[in-house]
Copies of this chain bind each other. A is one copy, B any other.
Amino acid sequence: MEQHSKALLLSSSNCHGYSMLEFAKGEICDFLKKHDVQELIFIPYAQKGYDGYTKTIKNVIVPWGFTVSGLHTFNDPAEAIKTARAIFIGGGNTFLLLKTLYDNNLVSLIRERVWAGDLAYIGSSAGTNVATKSIHTTNDMPIIYPPSFDAIGIVPFNINPHYIDKPENEKHKGETRDQRIGEYMDMPHASTVLGLREGSILHVNGKSLILKGVAGAVLFKKQVLTQCIISRMF
């Protein structure tokens, strides 16, 4: 975590009882206005169908008063990122997303610009996973092999988005989410993990980390959190 990073990390774009991104509308609008951003570049790499995915996001965010362009519509994605003021990386599959970011030489470029305070970052779900130290605590299936699990590193710990801890059903013998995160915590290289419930948002402003949104989070090892300042815990 560097002094100048500005980021809004959403557990998910969808939250029960809200339309897409609606639970985060106030935070996103405030964040962009505060950083004087009018144009957002959307990175649709976590899904197939970049045009359709970008259109879905535009339909939500343009009515809020911002312009949105898909990164895939620029001839040179790295050049576009070099002059962008703000990006939004959407959810989908974390492995596909991280591999595509590496394939386009964007991982260290985004890191440097965010750390310098020149690029405001909004991520959701997979877009939140790649904002952290590594993707070790994604829930996604490893559908493609990335060159590393190391990610952009805006925060120096891991996040588990869509955090929930209930057995899928009582008869099912697969691991619960807490067991899965526990397997990671047993690794010698494991970092702290913040389990963000759907509807929660981590607001990063330099060294200040504030948990916002409607749902709370769980920190491994392990304190149940509600809306609070969590910087001191890392």
Whether the Cβ atoms of B172 and A162 lie closer than 8 Å is yes
Chain B, Cβ-Cβ closest to A145: B149
A12 within 8 A of B: yes
Complex interface residues of chain A between 159 and 199 (CB less than 8 A to chain B): 162, 164, 166, 168-169, 171-175, 180-181, 183-184, 186-187, 189-190, 198
Contact call B141/A139, Cβ cutoff below 8 A: yes
Query: Residue on B with the closest CB to A15?
Result: B173
Q: Which residues of B contact A186 (CB under 8 A)?
A: 48, 143
Smallest Cβ-Cβ distance to A161: which chain B residue: B174
A3 at interface (Cβ–Cβ under 8 A)? no
Q: Are A168 and B174 in contact (CB under 8 A)?
A: no
In this complex, how many residues of chain A approach chain B with their Cβ under 8 Å: the count is 41
> With A142-B135, A162-B174 given, is the CB distance from A183 to B148 under 8 Å?
no
Q: How far is the CB of A231 from chain B (nearest CB, A)?
A: 26
A-B contact pairs, 12 of them (CB 8 A): A12-B174, A15-B173, A48-B186, A135-B142, A137-B141, A139-B175, A141-B184, A142-B142, A142-B149, A145-B148, A145-B149, A164-B169
